[in-house]
Amino acid sequence: MKNLLNVLRDDDVDPALMQVIETIIDASKEIAFRVRQGALAGVLGSSQDENIQGETQKHLDIISNQLLKDLLLACAPVAALASEEEDTVVAANPSGKYVVAFDPLDGSSNIDINGQIGTIFSIYRALDSVPHSSELQFNQQGSHQVCAGYVLYGPSTLLAITTGKRTRCFTLDSTQGTFLLTADNIQIAKDTQEFAINMSNSRFWNENMRCYIEDLILGEIGPRQKRYNMRWNAAMVGDVHRVLTRGGIFLYPSDNRNAKQPAKLRLLYEANPMALLIENAGGKARSETQRILDIQPQQLHERVAVILGSVNEVDECLSYLHP
């Protein structure tokens, strides 16, 4: 089996970009070790602090963020970084060619219950037109990502990654400490019978979204005329990995719980990297109004509705939203 660096080399990936990817992978191995140690490493539970999102930070959120930050700041090709756990952009190396955004530990609510969690990352070329410390470094459309991926800390530690051509999956061989290629060209099934959504929010959705979900639940006795199953991991990395593996549709729609914040998922370090992985695996990734990768970001931690997965099912959902 090929290892990650050999695959990237065969794809003629820029050596400086390979160095950034390798740095992220090194940090993820450290995180994976602490996740596996759990209570034995004293990393469970919540801190007394809140992040800019207003979320209570778990100890492992802070540890993971610090690991990624320390290693990336020491990586010469990195010009700046942005994180779910950082209020604003952190300037790195003046000669850096790339900027990195990440959610250090997605699915934090799963940490204390030994559930699926993961690290999501997104890499862009640094803009010479603005200072490295400017948030404008990250006001780039998702289609400009040069690399996107996640590390899923589950029964296996898996890396899903794309550098623009295809979406691949690697599995960590913990005896050697290397990620080995285990899926070379993921292709998402065009149709599905599985959806992922947090049903407890249904009373907050708009009417059209409620109708779409109701028809999935009606199954073979309703207009869709086939049985659907539901899954919800409460960690985007786990739900997206299932969609990449066996198809499906993942939805986190806008809702009216909070007029100032109608969506939950973050564009920069959740929606955009996942959208690139999904599209490069033959799937579709939309907000409720447009292709996610076409969205022009306005601010660092902006949020967006997400509908992604099997092309035909995403299209069917959009036909309900825009009859």
Burial (0-12, 13-18, 19+ Cβ within 10 Å), 231: middle
- Shortest separation between residue 216's beta carbon and ligand AFP, angstroms: 17
Q: Which residue is nearest to ligand AFP (CB)?
A: 236
Q: Which is nearer to ligand AFP, 115 or 219 (CB)?
A: 115
Q: Which is nearer to ligand AFP, 103 or 163 (CB)?
A: 103
- Shortest separation between residue 218's beta carbon and ligand AFP, angstroms: 23
- Shortest separation between residue 223's beta carbon and ligand AFP, angstroms: 27
Q: Which two tokens stand for residue 150?
A: 């996640």
- Shortest separation between residue 155's beta carbon and ligand AFP, angstroms: 19
Point out which residues bind ligand AFP (CB under 6 A): 55, 106-109, 198, 234-236, 252, 264-265
Q: Which is nearer to ligand AFP, 98 or 195 (CB)?
A: 195
Q: Which is nearer to ligand AFP, 65 or 108 (CB)?
A: 108
- Give buried/exposed letters for 176-191 (b at 16+ CB in 10 A, else e): eebbbbebeebebbee
- Shortest separation between residue 34's beta carbon and ligand AFP, angstroms: 16
Length of the chain: 323
d(CA 76, CA 207): 50
- Shortest separation between residue 297's beta carbon and ligand AFP, angstroms: 17
- Shortest separation between residue 107's beta carbon and ligand AFP, angstroms: 5
d(CA 24, CA 102): 10
Q: Residue 188: what residue type? A: I
DSSP 8-state secondary structure symbol assigned to residue 126? P
Parallel, antiparallel, or unpaired: how do β-strands 229-230 and 194-196 relate? parallel
Nearest to 286 by CA among 271, 307, 269, 262: 307
Q: Which is nearer to ligand AFP, 97 or 301 (CB)?
A: 301
Q: Which is nearer to ligand AFP, 109 or 289 (CB)?
A: 109
Q: Where are the beta strands (DSSP E) in 107-189?
A: 117-125, 147-153, 157-162, 167-173, 178-183
- Shortest separation between residue 86's beta carbon and ligand AFP, angstroms: 15
Phi/psi at 2 (5° precision) = -80, 145
Q: Which is nearer to ligand AFP, 168 or 242 (CB)?
A: 242
d(CA 65, CA 87): 12
Q: Which two tokens stand for residue 216?
A: 């999935």
Nearest to 228 by CA among 251, 252, 253: 251
Q: Which is nearer to ligand AFP, 34 or 132 (CB)?
A: 34
d(CA 283, CA 273): 13
